[in-house]
Structure 1
Amino acid sequence: MSIGQLGYQTTIVNPVTISGTGVHSGAPVSITFNPAEADSGVVFQRMHADGRVSEYRAVSSQVGNTDLCTVLGFSSLTSIATVEHVMAALYALSLDNVLIEVDGAEMPIMDGSSAPFIEAIDQVGLRPLAVKRRYIRVVKPVRIEAGASWAEFSPHDGTRFEVEIDFDCPLIGRQAWRGELTPATFRSELSRARTFGFMRDVEKLWAAGFALGSSLENSVVISDDNTVINVEGLRYRDEFVRHKTLDAVGDLALAGAQFIGCYRSYRGGHKMNAHALKALLSDRSAYEVVEASSPRARSGARELIAVNAPEFAPWSA
C-alpha cells in the first residue's frame, strides 16, 4: 500500500449472497454481504432458527477460540467460526464497511481459499463513502514469542507481510512468502491458496467433532507418504506458506482498521496472529491512528496526519 492509495472508506454497491458448507460442522451455510454506512466497520450477524440474532464486530476484542480457526464470540451457542478467509478478502480489497449475515455457526469454506469471496464482492463492486479511512500505523517494534515460534510488528512505509513456516514434513519443509500487500498482489499471489491438512489427523479431528465438512474440494490433503492426494495438485509451488499468509491477513484484519507497517512471523498460526495483534493494540506507544490529508493542489501527493485515537477505537467492542 502506497500513500497514493490512501483515501476514503468504502462499502459494497448491492447485497450479494454466497453459499457453501461449513468445514467443521459439515452443514450447509449461506452468507449475505450487505452495504453499510461509514464508520460501521465489518459486522457479523448470526441468524438463529428461532429468530434470535447474535452480532459481533470484527475486532480483536471479540476473538474467542483460535485453535483450528478464528472464532468471533465466546460461546459455541452464539459464536461465528472460520472468519479469517472472509476477513482476508475484505481487507485486501479495502472494503471497510459491510454487514455480513450468516445462517449458521461458521463461514462456508468454499474451496478453502479467499477467491470465492473476492469473486462475490467483484460481482457487485465497491463504492466510496464520504468519510476518510483511518489506519493504524506501527511506530515501534512489538514482538511476542512462544517456544520456537515468534511474531512481530515493525514500522514500514506500506503494508508488508513476511511469513515463514517450518514443518517436519518433506513436502512442506521450510517456506517463506514476503511481499507488499496490495489488492493486485493478494489476488494473484495469495487469494487462491487453500487450507491444508494431513490425512493422519483426519480421524482425530472427526472424533473431536471437527473437520466434518473437509474434503478434497476444499482442502489440500497430504497423505502418510508425504504426497498431495488432490488430483489437481497444488495451485502454487509453495501454496502452504501462501495460505498461512492469507490467514495472517485475515487475522490481522481484526484490528478493525488497516495497518501501516510490517508483520513478520515464524511458525505462526491463528493463535500467534491473535496474540501479536493484541500485544500491538495494548501498547499505546507502539502505534498511532492516522488518516490521509487532502491531495495537495500542485503535486497531488498525500501525507499522513495523526488523529485523535480515542475517537476511533476499532479494536474495542
Structure 2
Amino acid sequence: MDGMLPQTHAPFISEPRHEGQMQHTIRQPISSVGTGLHTGARISLRLSPAPENTGIVFRRTDIDMPPVVARYDMVVDTCLSTVLGCDTTGGHAERIATIEHLMAGLAGCGVDNIFIDVDGPEIPVFDGSAAEFVFLLECAGIVPQAAPRQHIHINRTVRVEDGDAYAELSPTAQPGLTIDISIDFPAAAIGQQRYMTGVEPGQFREHLSRARTFVLQPEIDYLHSVGLARGGSLDNAVVVNGDSVVNPSGLRHPDEFVRHKVLDAIGDLYLAGGMVNGHFRGHKSGHTLNNRLLRKVFAEQANWRRAPLDASLPAPRDRAA
C-alpha cells in the first residue's frame, strides 16, 4: 500500500534545543471573533497567559460550566469534530466543540499553558485551518517559562484499528513527534495521498497551518438536514464534488487534504496532556481513532512515561500493545 501512494515529505527544520526544554505561554491576552462552523453563531474567543503547569484550559463564559482541561479523557464526542465536555449533567450545553484546529496551533507553536475563553458552544472556525490561531498566538507573543517541559514518551507501539483504517504510536530514537498519514477517498479530486513530517514550530507554520478542512458535496445537504454546518461556506472549507474542487480559489497545496488530516492529528494528539515524543502513523484515521489511540496508550503505564525531551532513560520496549 505505502509504495503506491503519492508521498510528500516536509523538510525537517531543526529548532533550538533549549526552546523544546522549557514550558511556554503567551505574553499577553488577545481576542478575536469568528463564526461557529456548526452553529453558525458569532463567537468571541480570548486567549490569555497561564502559569506554569496549568496546561490548556477551556472556559465557557456564556454558561455556568466548570473549566475543562484539554485532555483525551475529557473528550465526549468525535463524530464531526473533537468535543470536550463536563460530566456534571451530560447535557449538550456543557460542551466545547471543534477544538482540534486551535489545539493543533498550540502544539505547532509550542504553547503549553493557556486559558481559552469562548462565549459559545464551539471554537470559531475562521478559515477552516489553524492559520488564524497561529497568527493570534504570534501577535500575543510566545514566551518561555521557568519550569521544564515534560514530554509524553512512547515506550512501545500501541495501535487501534477500524476495518482497514488504523492509528498507532511507536517509540522513536529522534526527539519530538513525527507524523506519517495516508488517506484514500473515492472522490477523484482527493484520491490517495500520504504526508510525512516532524512537528516543530517552523515546520508547522510553513507547511501545515494553512491546510483547510474539507467536505464532500453530497455530505453538505445531510449536515444541513440535521442542523449542522450552519456556518460552513467556501470561506472556511474546501468543498469537493467528484473530480473537482468547488472553491473558486482552488487549493492552497496540491495535497491540502492530507495536510489537513495531519493538522487534525497534531491537535488530537496534543490532548495527551503534553507534547508527545514518538512516531504517529495513520491510514484513513480521524478524530475517533486518534482519541481511541490515546485512551489505549494511557490505559497501561508500560506504554508511556513522562520525562524531559532529552532525559537519559532506559531504552523503550518496542512491543506492540
The alignment's TM-score, normalised by the length of structure 1, stands at 0.90
SS in 2 for 1:109: coil
Q: Is 2:103 the counterpart of 1:87?
A: yes
Q: 1:48 to 1:267 in 2, by over 3 A?
A: same
- Deviation, structure 1 residue 196: 0.4
8 A contact 2:239–2:245 mirrored in 1: yes
SS in 2 for 1:211: coil
% identity of equivalent residues: 38
Alignment correspondent of 1:310: none
Q: What is the alpha-carbon distance in structure 2 between the residues aligned to residue 6 and residue 121 of structure 1?
A: 17
Alignment correspondent of 1:295: none
Q: Is 2:311 the counterpart of 1:304?
A: yes
Alignment correspondent of 1:206: 224
8 A contact 1:112–1:194 mirrored in 2: yes
Q: Is 2:289 the counterpart of 1:272?
A: yes
Alignment correspondent of 2:275: 258
Q: 1:36 to 1:305 in 2, by over 3 A?
A: farther
Runs of 4+ in 1 over 3 A off after TM superposition: none
8 A contact 1:47–1:54 mirrored in 2: no
- Aligned pairs, how many? 293
Q: Is 2:89 the counterpart of 1:72?
A: no
Q: What is the alpha-carbon distance in structure 1 between the residues aligned to residue 43 and residue 116 of structure 2?
A: 13
Deviation by residue 1:161-194 (Cα, 9 ceiling, x = unmatched) = 0011111111111101101111111111110000
Alignment correspondent of 2:168: 152
The alignment's TM-score, normalised by the length of structure 2, stands at 0.89
In the TM superposition, what are the counterparts of 1:1-317 in structure 2 within 5 Å?
4=17, 5-48=19-62, 52-73=64-85, 74-156=90-172, 157-158=174-175, 159-223=177-241, 225-292=242-309, 303-305=310-312
SS in 1 for 2:137: helix
Task: Flag structure 2 segments of 5+ consecutive residues without an equivalent.
Answer: 1-13, 314-321
- Deviation, structure 1 residue 75: 3.0
Q: What is the alpha-carbon distance in structure 2 between the residues aligned to residue 54 and residue 98 of structure 1?
A: 16
- Deviation, structure 1 residue 54: 3.5
Q: What is the alpha-carbon distance in structure 1 between the residues aligned to residue 312 and residue 259 of structure 2?
A: 33
Q: What is the one-letter code of the residue matched to 2:199? A: L
- Deviation, structure 1 residue 201: 1.1
Q: What is the alpha-carbon distance in structure 1 between the residues aligned to residue 32 and residue 256 of structure 2?
A: 24
8 A contact 2:187–2:240 mirrored in 1: no
SS in 2 for 1:61: helix
Q: What is the one-letter code of the residue matched to 2:193? A: Q
Question: How large is the RMSD of aligned CA atoms in angstroms?
Answer: 1.4
Q: What is the one-letter code of the residue matched to 1:118? A: V
Q: What is the one-letter code of the residue matched to 2:103? A: M
Alignment correspondent of 1:298: none
Deviation by residue 1:144-176 (Cα, 9 ceiling, x = unmatched) = 111111111111123100011111111111101
- Deviation, structure 1 residue 53: 3.6
SS in 2 for 1:143: strand
- Deviation, structure 1 residue 212: 0.6
- Deviation, structure 1 residue 2: 7.0
Q: What is the alpha-carbon distance in structure 2 between the residues aligned to residue 2 and residue 147 of structure 1?
A: 38
Alignment correspondent of 1:300: none
Q: What is the one-letter code of the residue matched to 1:7? A: Q
Task: Flag structure 1 segments of 5+ consecutive residues without an equivalent.
Answer: 293-302, 307-317
Q: What is the alpha-carbon distance in structure 2 between the residues aligned to residue 207 and residue 269 of structure 1?
A: 23
- Deviation, structure 1 residue 286: 1.2
Deviation by residue 1:237-286 (Cα, 9 ceiling, x = unmatched) = 00000000000000011011001110000010100111111111112111
- Deviation, structure 1 residue 226: 2.6
Q: What is the one-letter code of the residue matched to 1:304? A: A
